[in-house]
Amino acid sequence: MQRFTNKIAVITAGATGIGFATATRFIEEGGKVAVLDLVEPETKVDGLLAVQGDCTDLQAVSDFFARVGRDLGEIDILVNNVGQSARTRRSLFVDSSEEVWRFVVEINLLTAMRCARIVAPAMKARGKGRIVNISSNAALYGTLYQADYAAAKAGIIGLTRALARELSPHGITVNAICPGVIKTGAMAHNSPESIAKLRADTPVGFEAEPEEVGGLIAYIASDEARFLTGQTIAFNGGRSFL
């Protein structure tokens, strides 16, 4: 399939994991892709514009989108993929600090709002576009020790629904995906015991590959999904339901 011929996509945190798998899928299907990430891509891929920068830095983000406009052209697809839990700083909410909350909300929710605000006006003017926001199963499950992360990712769902109502009449669809246990680098921050428990709590009994999430994103971002908007898709092996 060549569903993304003459399409330009932007993916935040697109150098590894789900973001990189999605970028590769778009390119395989004829698209041009730009990614913004703190690190370089996992491997060199023709057709990928990779820029190193911090997605929480407004100036870095603004400069990145300006470069995409100059080098590639008008953006057709935005995948808001950047996100992170508190990781080693996570704790029960009663023991948590506002400094950590602010970091978690900034990197998960405000980055998505910032990027969507940049691309939406041009998409609206052109009468077409796709925005895919990556939330998390934590937003559905209410994961222990991750109240800040669950709150931020639930905010992604609310943002998705509000933007869908606002932008869908202008040819722009906005949807969210809530991944569960995926084999990405983030899994390395979990102990073997934690990973075993996550796997046991997942009815299908295994972790998904990043490429599987990329396949779902590719469908949502394609012209085939023109009737799909404002939706939250739980891609979590049955760990929780909507």
127: left (phi over 0), alpha (psi -120 to 50) or beta: left
CB atoms within 10 A of CB 68: 24
Active site residue 219: no
The count of other CB atoms within 10 Å of the CB of residue 125 is 11
Crossing angle of helices 210-221 and 17-28, in 10° steps, is 50
**Annotated catalytic residue within 141, 145, 149, 219:** 149
Render the burial of 161-171: b for 16+ CB within 10 Å, e for the rest: bebbeebbeee
User: How does DSSP classify residue 185?
Assistant: G
Strands of the 77-80 sheet, one edge to the other? 48-52, 32-37, 8-12, 77-80, 129-134, 172-179, 232-235
Catalytic residues: 149
